Structure 1
């Protein structure tokens, strides 16, 4: 089953607090709220997607644990983007300075910032166009590097500010470039 958008009528607005309550009451679902008020309901992932997600998150976490350059997040974290959307990348990372600039209350809720780095992993039922729009939304809101990983076709779309999207076929690894210095994602386990 793919994600399901639900349109919220303009006269029925979901506040940040109400969205947080909806997300807390429906922990088995991943919920997102677009900037134009569309509620996105994503069902739990299947086994292969979950296996890939944990491997990606684990590699990012391990690199961050060693580098101590920031904070890594899993797919359960929603970020309140500058445009008002509440989005949950499959994996994300924020520099330590940006994280430390948030208040304890902001760190406890949906952090009000766009990650510096984000990964979206296409699951079997996902369509590419909504994922591409989501990646572009991250870029438009301050993302410095993003990877859209399409395991079905063994391709990765690399997103950077003010650049065209780079498409890489069957990479064995991906570099975190200057955003995540020294981070290399082993794609062989992700594509297997």
Structure 2
């Protein structure tokens, strides 16, 4: 969802924090890539819906396991300090705090173990691959890229390469979230459709 690059002197993380919090910038979205500011667009509704579904699945799992926590809404992730790199992830899974008071006040230096990105129409392959590369260099172990158009998930592992999953497949958490399982198809299902599907299964069982 890249829009444009803003030509400014290379920024540190602290410079960037001050920049995004200027009054004229507070309603806009930016990332910092090796010192350069990039403005990014506001996502479409399907994008937000899929993020909500994926975040709910992950958050429910972490609460059951009582380990880690989920962030959403392009929360800043520091990947490099000087020149700075601060990326925004749709969803991220961390294990660095046990209570709300333990969360960093700003972005924090701890890197998430898992990141989920949902593609936007203007995301280029180069932009996504560069972002994944930055995540892995920063220490992220697993990145899931969800494509709303093809309804597929590319699961990128820092150690095991990439796996493409379709709606017929099941997404798993691997070594990062052992025991986590989610049908890819469930990421694209609205509650009313899920309710109708359950009723259909029950009718078949009763026949």
Please state which band the TM-score falls in when normalised by the shorter chain: 0.7 to 0.9
Which has the greater radius of gyration? 2
Note the alpha carbon deviations across 1:138-181, whole angstroms, 9 max, x for none. Answer: 11221111111122222222111233222223344311122112
Q: Which residue pairs with 2:16 in the alignment?
A: 19
Higher strand share: 2
Length, aligned pairs only: 183
Distance across 2 between alignment mates of 1:163 and 1:189: 25
- Matched residue, 2:177: 180
What is the CA RMSD across the aligned residues, in angstroms?
2.4
Q: TM-score when scaled to structure 1?
A: 0.82
Return 5+ residue gaps in structure 1 as ranges: none
Structure 2 unmatched ranges of 5 or more: 190-207
Q: Which moved more, 1:109-118 or 1:166-175?
A: 166-175
CA distance in 1, matches of 2:46, 2:140: 27
Give the alignment of 1:33-182 within 5 angstroms: 33-35=32-34, 37-82=35-80, 84-95=84-95, 98-99=96-97, 107-182=104-179
Q: Partners of 2:50 and 2:153 in 1: how far apart?
A: 14
The separation in 2 between residues aligned to 1:183 and 1:30, in whole angstroms, is 31
1:71, distance to aligned residue in structure 2 (A): 1.9
Give the TM-score taking structure 2 as reference length: 0.77
